Structure 1
């Protein structure tokens, strides 16, 4: 049966027919200057009959993040400039080779980045194709990467969680990037950068969506719904990019706060409320479409420092609550998440944010709830010299990695480990650690 996303959450009423929207896009593409805003049609999603009871994954997760933004882990750069047939073959071979190696290593869950920015790694009716595949935003790669990894991983008995970066539009603000985004105006679908320029802000030297705009949250939710409705994904994950700013590139949401922030004591409280609303409606939408799909978030490892909040951890560092305006602890307590995967990217010896202190703090948070806890481990630091964290280079980083895995497996509240990220398994500095993982997890 076919149901509209309006059944799940409020979206702006479409005042024009599809023909008028198409005409507007055509006329706009002829204009010298992109329009300020165009209505983005949200397509309906097809909901398949599902069991009434949710089936929870009770196994221990041994996971890996596989990043596609900037082609960090996949696809291989050399494939982009190849002919169409060769490109497809190279990208698919690279992915199956990775899955084979991950399977041998004992990895059972891949967190695959399907939305690295405002583009897609599946044939979306909302987002244009990702340029990571072909070098050009909107160019059809000739196959469906999401369906391909689902088929190949499931054949190997591995799970796949679709990893979304919710608000990022681009990784930079270069003139060449602006030109490339503007060129999508004649595409169907075009980039949100040109369809809703009034939604776009700059923060962290990137183009991002303004989280305070209700239509933005609805649009993001519709993208998640499209994937959950169409694909047999095992889970959906948001990363830690909610409100993302740097000291030299802050998000200018003053006007948005004036429009929508009435009744809030501070902009910070209003921002946390906006992030809360996104998590609530995405969680609700996923469960209404398919209760068997797990929804999780992978936030920064520190929720709040105890010096700011007695409920916080005994740490001194950037906190998701204060920096990203994400009250991640509350989401666990309210049952909005099936799992949380905090990025505890420090060793036992890092006094400002000890691995064991944070792992135990999160274990206490999830203990009275039904939310599962997976710990994100900084595999990218293994073998890398650091004055503040020398343990990563002692005996190839194996003793530190062993301590972290031992702790995870010793605590009943911790249901798994996720390594960041896949391509570091192939680096020479991690060879000893990979050999250790193979003996510990491998088949």
Structure 2
């Protein structure tokens, strides 16, 4: 009888602890601020970052139209877009060589101007673990790269851009990326920092010697499956990236507790299967404090289908969850009717807001005139929302 009581007490304690743990992870981040009205600021197909005047004018225009969140790229093409001691030590260049970025700190300029206008600045780690194949970063650290099962390294972005992928599982790669993130969080008055699917890597990769050796050590000497979409192989690699993200999250929070960790991935199924980035698990574990899912669809049926996906709906109940909407690309304009329909649907379903890719296509890369596009934004964001 005594043992039965002890067992019952033990089980009750376990149940209470489990219930508390589950409760603590499932509690939502209470956020009573306004609608997220964001835009990504890029150094591709855009000149806004390449002179102080362009940068100032762009932020002023966005403020006038009641945008409130800026996501400027800070890591692209194998370079930082801010003066980086970490980058200088590793690749010999402290900033992207574009002449418009020399002798200035565009990130500091953005932060100063945006904060004067009561706008958030959340730097975007756009390239993540990706790098140009001919970059100094890639050519000087070949041991950092991951490979396909046929030993190839090149991954084509579009038809012309040859890329390679740093191995997110490699300790030296993790140290480099962590140092860049820590440098930004430490040195700048940012509101958050953002990652996307490039913080994983294409699932066809992972057959480099480091990853293969690690897998074999954890699988009684067995080699990774030849099928790169094998569920266990997908899960094992994505779990390793999740472990790294956990470490990085806590490093960020140890420096500045109020810096939010934002992630802007594709929908969960694609993100995990194609890029090994299991953002739904990150969200459940509490490593995401703002989620902006990129739903770049050219018709409302496809757009609506993504909005009702389970992982997205679950995240919406826990953390500020917004929708990334494509406003156009060079050579691929998006008409205002579709943009308006997607914004309205997002609002109707009570998401936390929207962010647009990208600045130039808000009004410069479009079928309509810049004036027509700006009148649209003035109408759609007619009320002032400070986030």
**TM exceeds 0.5?**
yes
Alignment partner of 2:72 out of 112, 118, 133: 112
Q: 1:116 to 1:377 in 2, by over 3 A?
A: same
Aligned alpha-carbon RMSD (Å):
2.7
Partners of 2:60 and 2:341 lie apart in 1 by 27
Equivalenced residue count is 321
Which residue number in structure 2 is paired with residue 228 of structure 1? Answer: 185
Would you say 1:359 and 2:307 are equivalent positions? yes
Which residue number in structure 2 is paired with residue 419 of structure 1? Answer: 356
Q: Using CA pairs below 8 Å that are at least 6 residues apart, which structure has the higher relative contact order?
A: 2
Q: 1:56 to 1:286 in 2, by over 3 A?
A: farther
Which residue number in structure 1 is paired with residue 321 of structure 2? Answer: 373
Partners of 2:36 and 2:282 lie apart in 1 by 21
Partners of 2:304 and 2:73 lie apart in 1 by 28
Q: 1:383 to 1:260 in 2, by over 3 A?
A: closer
Which residue number in structure 1 is paired with residue 143 of structure 2? Answer: 198
The alignment partner of 1:163 has SS state of: coil
Which residue number in structure 1 is paired with residue 9 of structure 2? Answer: none
Partners of 2:196 and 2:107 lie apart in 1 by 18
Q: 1:381 to 1:373 in 2, by over 3 A?
A: same
Which residue number in structure 2 is paired with residue 296 of structure 1? Answer: 262
Which ranges of structure 1 fall in alignment gaps of 5 or more residues? 1-53, 80-90, 182-190, 305-318, 386-391
Q: Do the aligned residues in 1 keep the contact of 2:346 with 2:353 (CA within 8 Å)?
A: yes
**After superposition, what is the alpha-carbon deviation per residue over 1:129-156, rounded to whole angstroms, capped at 9, x for unaligned?**
3335328xxxx81121111111111112
Would you say 1:123 and 2:80 are equivalent positions? no
Partners of 1:245 and 1:342 lie apart in 2 by 18
Would you say 1:74 and 2:28 are equivalent positions? no
The alignment partner of 1:291 has SS state of: coil
**After superposition, what is the alpha-carbon deviation per residue over 1:17-65, rounded to whole angstroms, capped at 9, x for unaligned?**
xxxxxxxxxxxxxxxxxxxxxxxxxxxxxxxxxxxxx996832110000
Q: Do the aligned residues in 1 keep the contact of 2:129 with 2:198 (CA within 8 Å)?
A: yes
Calculate the TM-score normalised by the size of structure 1: 0.66
The alignment partner of 1:217 has SS state of: helix
Deviation at 1:118, TM superposition (A): 2.9
Which residue number in structure 1 is paired with residue 105 of structure 2? Answer: 144
Partners of 2:48 and 2:317 lie apart in 1 by 41
Which residue number in structure 2 is paired with residue 267 of structure 1? Answer: 233
Deviation at 1:344, TM superposition (A): 0.5
Q: Do the aligned residues in 1 keep the contact of 2:328 with 2:366 (CA within 8 Å)?
A: no
Q: Do the aligned residues in 2 keep the contact of 1:66 with 1:74 (CA within 8 Å)?
A: no
Partners of 2:329 and 2:205 lie apart in 1 by 30
Q: Do the aligned residues in 1 keep the contact of 2:169 with 2:240 (CA within 8 Å)?
A: yes
Which ranges of structure 2 fall in alignment gaps of 5 or more residues? 1-28, 88-92, 147-152, 156-161, 225-231
| Greater alpha carbon shift after TM alignment, 432-441 vs 154-163 | 432-441
Partners of 2:340 and 2:271 lie apart in 1 by 27
**After superposition, what is the alpha-carbon deviation per residue over 1:255-309, rounded to whole angstroms, capped at 9, x for unaligned?**
1222212336743223212321232122111111111111011111x212xxxxx
Deviation at 1:401, TM superposition (A): 1.8
Q: Do the aligned residues in 2 keep the contact of 1:55 with 1:292 (CA within 8 Å)?
A: no
The alignment partner of 1:419 has SS state of: strand
The alignment partner of 1:100 has SS state of: helix
Which residue number in structure 1 is paired with residue 249 of structure 2? Answer: 283
Alignment partner of 2:59 out of 85, 94, 99: 99
Partners of 1:200 and 1:75 lie apart in 2 by 32
